Every structure is written in structure tokens, then in C-alpha cells.
Structure 1
């Protein structure tokens, strides 16, 4: 756990889920730069009067709203893990959770926003979608300040602020971080009247295995929003055949194509779609409903920490295309957590099917965790692996029984 000292106080902050081996901090130089600017100004820009309704978009682990909790901000995020981290960090700071309003990217935003602070996301599409949703709630005097690392702020990023919010300028870089200043103009009102570009809907082509011909629906920010990613395509081309599974999980479901294909392949099975992203689960719901007849629907949609809400030993089949990045940091921690959760949730004899880049060596991790790992299919880039949960070994009976 690390301590962040800002003009608004000093706080111990952590990511979620907490892992003592994880050396990644819950903040970076972009968060620090923004908080310094709010308190003291930056160059020719004066400090920000933190009056009225303050909205913080994309606060990754609750760093910004924890620091600004005295001003009762609203947090808007696509990440349920960010919400959990925020709750923990607020509690650690002695701040009642009620002092900060936690919203998702799918919720209605505050009616009036006086200060909008934007932590620039990796996804330009998500930024576009959220600025479009927030534009109607800005007014001529709204202060809009974005922040991000220099490598994440591109000309296209600034053009979005310019087009949706108004005239946009940037600060000088400090510690490889930069601020964005946008002044709401008449285009914000025009943007509010125009239909948003999301979600996108498309039909999967004939090279999509068991999902060929299905309709995919993608909200902004969901991985490979305008096409099927090649890893998922490879899994669908080598899909489990009629396993008879009664309960199936699409773990890290994204747009839900994998789980929807499983629902159609196993009529009568209950399918659980789970992801930490609110945008992803909304996409999965829309994809499922677009393809599965109403009378045949038997699904559950969960936003949260993987399979944390699924009872142990209650699942027959888990399908997984794990990410290997966490906010642009390459890490296998998320995949390892997913594999461990899958083992807990599976019944004895239940199966985990994983697609991943072959260089990641998931077969070694699965063999250690499950005691077995079978190569189902491979090409120069990907592998599909199958691991089976073994029944516990019978206990020896005491002598004399």
C-alpha cells in the first residue's frame, strides 16, 4: 500500500483487488498534476474554485474522489473494480461513502455539472461516448480539466474535447503528464441534440466458427468494439462440442458473443455473463437478447470481480479469453485470478476452456492449478487450452472401520 500526499491531504491508497505482491500504485503523475493544479493553478491558469457540483470521469482507483471527498464529488467509471477500490480508499481515509456519489458509465449523469474532471481513458471511443453523454449537463461557466500521461493524449484526444465540449488547450508536460483545458461552447448544446455513435451493431462473418451469423452489439470502450477480436474468433472456431453443461460462465464476457454462442449450442443451459466493465455487461445483455429467442432465455449478467459472486462448485463449464493488461501495464495477475476463481466455481469434472497468446505459457499455470492442461488447438499466435477440475481424493478410513 502506498501513501499519496496532495494539497488536499495525505491518503493511503490501493488498487482492487488488493495484492501485496502488486507493486503498481493506485495513482500516477497525471493524478498528482491535476490535484496540484486544482489547488494552486498551473502557469497562466488559476486554481479551480471547487464550488457546485463536481464530477470526476474515469477515476481509476478512486484517487481523485478520495482526495476531493470534502467537496462531495460524483465519480463516473466503467470499472466495478474502480468502484470497489474507491470504497476501500474512502473507508481508509475515514470518509463516509455517502459523501461521494458513485455512478457507472451506464447511469444518468448529474443534471448540472459545474466542474468536470476527466481522467483520459485508454479508449478514445469511451471518451467520445462519455463526453457526448455529459455535454448536455455542462454550462458556459463549467470548468473542464482533463489529465493523462503524455503517451495517452493524442491529437485525436484533443479534437474530441474540441468537437464535443469547446475550445481546447493543453498545459506543459510535467513528469510525462499533461493537462487538458476545455471551455464549453455552443457545440456542446449541438452535440447534445445529435444522436450518439454508440452502441455499434454488426453481423459476425462466416469465419467466426459457431458464432457465424450472430449479431454483436458493442458499447463504447469494449475490447475490439467494431469487429471480433482474433483470439475470440480462434476460440469460437474450436468451441466445446455438446458438453451437456447445465451451467456455463462467459468469464470476462466483453460483448457476450462467446456466452451467446454457448447458450445457442447448449439449449436449456443457464449462462452467466460476468465482467468488471459496466459497458461490457451492457453489451453482453444486448448481444444475448439480439440472438436468443425470448422464450429460450436463461441467463444472468454480473458486473464485478470475475466469479466472486458465483457459489463454489456450481458451474459445469467456464469459457475465458483473459486480458493481460491492466490500465496499460502488462500483467498476468488478472488471468491467474480468473483461473483460480474458475477452479473454485467448477464442479468436479467441470471444465475451463481458455484462449490466449501462446507465448504467455498459460498451460504451465493451468497444470499447476488444475493438475492437468490439454492443448485443444493452436496456430502461430494463439492456443486453446482445456483444464478439468479433478474430484477430491477420497480420505482414508480410520483403522477398524
Structure 2
């Protein structure tokens, strides 16, 4: 893995988190990071006198570079925050140099310079621009960066709609910058959360902007719900909904089992907040039997959870981290589940049939059973012996 960012006669050592599970060809910054750093250093005057806000800094490259100016840092990703913390430490930068905020905590202070990486999810970008309406002042400068293919006319239109006059740069190494000068008089309301309803039972599902399957029940979760009754007797058990998203699986488990406890875990702050809202809105009496944890898979779970024994883990693993296709998240989920489950505990996984989950589970658990399958998905079961 390339860990050395050398730019403008300066060097940073940067890694992805967790470092030991990353592909050797990956690095913890991209051309958009380099482009925005070069532009700011060469064109923005008086950085030491400006309040800097950084959004969507995937692995902390921007935070480390501009740490001398004590930036305010905002992300929806727990993994991104952990990467940033590791990279600050690697470069001997005090953690206190960066002021951390998650995506569900409001920021009230004015922003004079905003550095924003374009996120993969357009809805998240829209919500962040709406949030910035309350923070910009007439002198605010907004500079965004992303892959050139991500910056469409619709992207520029969002900046125009919510903030003000917007232009873009020429492409450089397949990256592009966006320059926005806020007018300071826009106050559009947010269209989020998105709300839809399940059938039988009819649950109201609320989804903040960055939640996976924000607009409808995703087909993997739908397939899992169809076969929940086949998985195991979950009554009086402790179940982890790992990678919970809006919590729809855990919500149905709570509804079907009177004494079951469910722990909702996701690396997205918006996902966990949505899952909690959905339990409170639909099954408020089950709040005491629920727990909501923002985490990287099941890192240090026993220190973060009030439940000491886990009987069942359910997951629908993602196979992307930021813009990279990867199986390391699934692999960590499987390893963490095995480590945490008590003897006889079970892991249930739903995933696309073309993914190599059966061999991975067999390597870890020594056993794997197909619970259900269709043309696209399989539900697999592995038991801890």
C-alpha cells in the first residue's frame, strides 16, 4: 500500500482503516484530495485567520494537512473518523487539532472556508448543503472536490439551489473542483428523512439522507424477512443486526419475539439514528430491549454494549468502502461474529449468490448451510462450535 503523500514539498504518512484488511494497491487519499490541497495552498490567503470546515474526508488526508488551522471536521462515517484519528497519530499531530462532528449533530458556528469532498450518495450531499445554509456568511468560500465523473450538471445545480453562484474547474488527474459563493439568504427545508411503510405489519420506516435503501426496502432485506421464521428460535435471545441500515430486520425481530434483545450496529451515524427512530416510532415498548451502536463491524463490542452474551448475528454485508469494491468488510464481519458468539451461536448472512461467502464461512466456522436461495440471493447459516 502506498502510504506516503508527498505534495508541495511536504510529506504525510496516511493509511486506510483498518490497515491490516486493505488491498495493497489502495491508498488513503485520491486525486481530488491533492487537487483541493494544491488549490487552497496556492490561492487562498490568510488561512490562519479563517474558520475551516471539512466535510466527507474519507481517511483524514485533509484533516492532517490543514490541522495547523484547527479545522472543524464533519462525517457520517465512523470508519472515516477512525482513519483520521490513526493518521493524526501517525503524523504526530495532536488529536485536539481537529474538532470532530458526526452527521447527526448540528453545527452552529459560522464557516468561512468549507472544503467538501463530494460523497457517493447525492442525498447526503443535498443534506449537507442544506445544513450549510445556516453556517455560511457573505464572505464564505465553498470549495468542493471529487472525481470528474461524479460532478454532473445536477451536482452543480444542488450547490446553486441551496447556497449560491457555482462554477467548476478543469479536470486534473480525473478530478474536478467546484467553487461556490453563497448568497447567505437561502433557507430551503430538508426533504429528509424519507419515509415509507412495510407491509404486514405496517411499520413506518424513517430514513435519514445517507441510509442504504433510503427509498424502499432493499431486495436483500426483503428476502431475509421472508425467511426470518426459518432461521432460528430467537425468543429470549440476544441478536445483533450488523450493518443495520434503517433497522428494518431488527425491528421485525423485536416485533415477533417478546423477550428478544436486539443490538443495532452500523458505521453510519445516520443509519443508527434512523434505526433508533424506527424502534421508538413503531415499538416504543421495546426500547429497553434495544441498543444502538455506531461502530466498525464489532470492534470492541463487549466494551460498548450492555449485553455480554450474543446468540445470533444477522448481516447483509456491503461490498464497497467509499468507491472501492472490497470483501474485507464482510470478512471482518464474519470474524468478529465468530469471536463474539457464544458456543452454539449462529451467524446468518444474506448476500448475492456470486459472492464467495460460503467458502469464507467454511474456513472460519468449519460449517455452512444454505437456508434459502433464489436467482439473486442466498441466506447462509454458520454455527459456532
TM range (shorter): over 0.9
Aligned 8 A contact 1:268 1:296 in 2:
no
Residue 341 (structure 1) aligned to one of 336, 348, 359: 336
CA RMSD of aligned residues (A): 1.6
- 1:380 maps to 375
Task: Describe the SS at the equivalent of 1:131.
Answer: helix
Structure 2 partner of 1:205: 199
Change (3 A) 1:259 1:103: same
Contact 1:75–1:101 (8 Å) recurs in 2: yes
Within the candidate set 151, 162, 165, 1:164 is matched to 162
Note the C-alpha offset of 1:237: 0.7
Q: Secondary structure at the match of 1:322?
A: coil
Deviates more, 1:24-33 or 1:240-249: 240-249
SS of the residue aligned with 1:261? helix
> Residues 378 and 151 from structure 1, CA distance in 2 versus in 1: closer, same or farther, beyond 3 angstroms?
same
Q: 1:242 matched to which residue of 2?
A: 233
The answer to whether the 8 Å contact 2:236/2:258 transfers is no
Quote the Cα distance in structure 1 between the aligned partners of 2:157 and 2:263.
Answer: 39
Q: Equivalent of 2:140, from 139, 142, 166?
A: 142
Equivalent of residue 313 in structure 2, options 300, 310, 318: 318
For the pair 1:3 / 2:1, whether they are aligned, the reply is no
Task: Report Cα offsets for 1:85-110 as digits up to 9, x if no partner.
Answer: 11111111111111110110111214
C-alpha change, 1:340 and 1:270, in structure 2 (3 Å) is same
Corresponding residue for residue 27 of structure 1: 29
3-state SS, counterpart of residue 259 of structure 2: coil
How far 1:8 moved relative to its partner? 7.6
The equivalent of 1:217 in structure 2 is: 206
Structure 2: distance between partners of 1:321 and 1:383: 11
Shift of 1:135: 1.2
1:48 and 1:384 map into 2 onto residues whose CA distance is 56
Deviations 1:110-153 (A, max 9, x none): 41100001100000000001110111110111010000011211
Deviation of the 1:21 alpha carbon: 5.2
Looking at structure 1, the residues matched to 130 and 93 of structure 2 have their Cα atoms a distance apart, in angstroms, of 31
TM-score normalised per structure 1:
0.90
- Contact preservation (8 Å) 1:9, 1:67: no
Unpaired runs of at least 5, structure 2: none
Q: Which runs of 5+ in 1 are unaligned?
A: 41-45, 207-211, 391-401
- Equivalent residue pairs, number: 376
Whole-Å separation in 2 of the counterparts to 1:162 and 1:12: 36
Q: Distance in 1 between matches of 2:81 and 2:5?
A: 19
Task: Find the partner of 1:369 among 338, 342, 364.
Answer: 364
- Find the aligned partners of 1:223 and 1:7 in 2 and give their Cα distance: 38
| C-alpha distance in 1 between matches for 2:174 and 2:10 | 23
The structural deviation recorded for 1:242 is 3.0
Deviation, structure 1 residue 311? 2.9
- State the Cα distance separating 1:10 from its structure 2 match: 1.0
In structure 2, C-alpha distance between the alignment counterparts of 1:182 and 1:329, rounded to whole Å: 28
1:191-202 mapped onto 2 (5 Å cutoff): 191=187, 194-202=188-196
TM-score of the aligned structures, taking structure 2 as reference length = 0.94
The 3 A distance-change label for structure 1 pair 48 and 126 is farther
- How far apart are the structure 2 equivalents of 1:90 and 1:110? 25
Contact 2:235–2:258, Cα closer than 8 Å, also in 1: no
Q: Does structure 2 retain, via aligned residues, the 8 Å contact 1:8–1:67?
A: no
Q: Secondary structure of the equivalent of 1:114?
A: strand
**What is aligned with 1:356?**
351
Structure 1 residues 352, 7: CA separation in 2 closer, same or farther (over 3 Å shift)? same
